[in-house]
């Protein structure tokens, strides 16, 4: 980086220092400003001097990636965002791992994240983000393992229910026949759906109701849409619930 750009970064860092610490910046002619400016100048120069040489091929990859997919917009005050965008671009070009670059760009979406680490030398910055990335991967793997275990548990339970339904000889056709011969009752308000049955071109949805002695059936078929109530029978209820468990996805 040329001397002019180096000075500009030092001035910006000095201003930021005073604004964050005191809420205002003193005159650039003051001794406080000069002292802090010299300190920031040395920090910027040191950070740039300790940057690892960047493989130009890696830099090209970063630029190509940025063209293909714009980096997330940073949050924060406008001045912070402008400053952080430049810091982010410089940092990403120092990282050779495409996976780490992608994660970091998506995880650090606050301008403050980048500004707070501006004084870290490249090796220290890389060490910090690698630790965070490793923790992110660990947590992701744990969540994936937990989800897979849950999926396997549900699959095993569903398979057990299917075997029980088969062993009991319960079929959609048989349940529809039982519904057809059940005594008709006066309609009642619907509550929870028990099961859906498809048999012989008929589609039936069976619901519990606010009346503990009644089930409601909504049927669609060649005759159109029908609604009717049937007498609640505990053995029928048990078969309907078992059939529903055995055919859940």
Do 121 and 210 belong to one domain? Answer: no
Alpha helices in 78-224 (DSSP H): 78-94, 98-107, 111-116, 122-168, 172-181
Q: Confirm whether 155 is domain-assigned.
A: no
- Give the pLDDT band of residue 63 (cuts 50, 70, 90): very low
Residue 89 dihedral angles phi and psi, to the nearest 5°: -60, -45
Do 133 and 15 belong to one domain? Answer: yes
Do 45 and 85 belong to one domain? Answer: yes
The tens digit of pLDDT for each residue in 79-104 reads: 899 999 999 999 999 998 988 999 99
Do 38 and 95 belong to one domain? Answer: yes
Instruction: Give the integer Cα–Cα distance in Å for 128 and 226.
Output: 66
Q: Which pLDDT score, from 0 to 100, does residue 104 have?
A: 94
Instruction: Give the integer Cα–Cα distance in Å for 48 and 17.
Output: 19
Do 75 and 30 belong to one domain? Answer: yes
Sheet holding 214-221, edge to edge: 184-185, 224-231, 214-221, 202-209, 190-199
Do 32 and 125 belong to one domain? Answer: yes
**Which helix (DSSP H) or strand (DSSP E) does residue 185 occupy?**
strand 184-185
The tens digit of pLDDT for each residue in 8-61 reads: 787 777 777 766 676 666 777 777 778 888 888 888 888 777 654 444 344 444
Provide the number of structural domains found in the chain: 2
Burial of 203 (0-12, 13-18, 19+ CB in 10 A): middle
Domain that holds residue 114: 3-138
User: 76: which 2 tokens?
Assistant: 């924060």
With beta carbons less than 8 A apart as the criterion, state whether 217 and 190 touch. Answer: no
Instruction: Give the integer Cα–Cα distance in Å for 36 and 50.
Output: 21
Q: Which pLDDT score, from 0 to 100, does residue 129 have?
A: 93
């Amino acid at each position: 980086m040329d001397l002019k750009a180096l000075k500009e970064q030092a001035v910006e860092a000095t201003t930021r220092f005073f604004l964050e610490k005191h809420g205002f910046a003193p005159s650039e002619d003051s001794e406080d400003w000069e002292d802090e400016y010299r300190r920031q100048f040395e920090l910027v120069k040191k950070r740039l001097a300790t940057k690892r040489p960047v493989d130009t091929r890696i830099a090209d990859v970063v630029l190509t990636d940025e063209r293909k997919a714009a980096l997330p917009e940073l949050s924060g005050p406008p001045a912070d965002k402008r400053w952080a965008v430049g810091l982010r671009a410089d940092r990403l070009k120092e990282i050779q791992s495409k996976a780490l670059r992608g994660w970091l760009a998506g995880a650090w979406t606050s301008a403050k994240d980048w500004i707070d680490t501006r004084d870290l030398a490249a090796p220290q910055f890389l060490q910090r983000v690698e630790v965070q990335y490793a923790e992110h991967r660990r947590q992701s793997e744990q969540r994936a393992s937990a989800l897979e275990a849950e999926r396997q548990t549900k699959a095993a339970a569903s398979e057990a229910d299917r075997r029980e339904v088969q062993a009991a000889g319960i079929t959609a056709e048989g349940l529809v026949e039982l519904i057809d011969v059940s005594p008709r009752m006066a309609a009642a308000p619907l509550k929870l759906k028990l099961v859906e049955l498809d048999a012989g071109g008929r589609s039936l949805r069976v619901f519990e109701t606010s009346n503990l002695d009644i089930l409601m059936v909504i049927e669609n078929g060649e005759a159109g849409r029908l609604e009717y109530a049937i007498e609640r029978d505990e053995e029928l209820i048990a078969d309907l619930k078992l059939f529903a468990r055995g055919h859940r996805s």
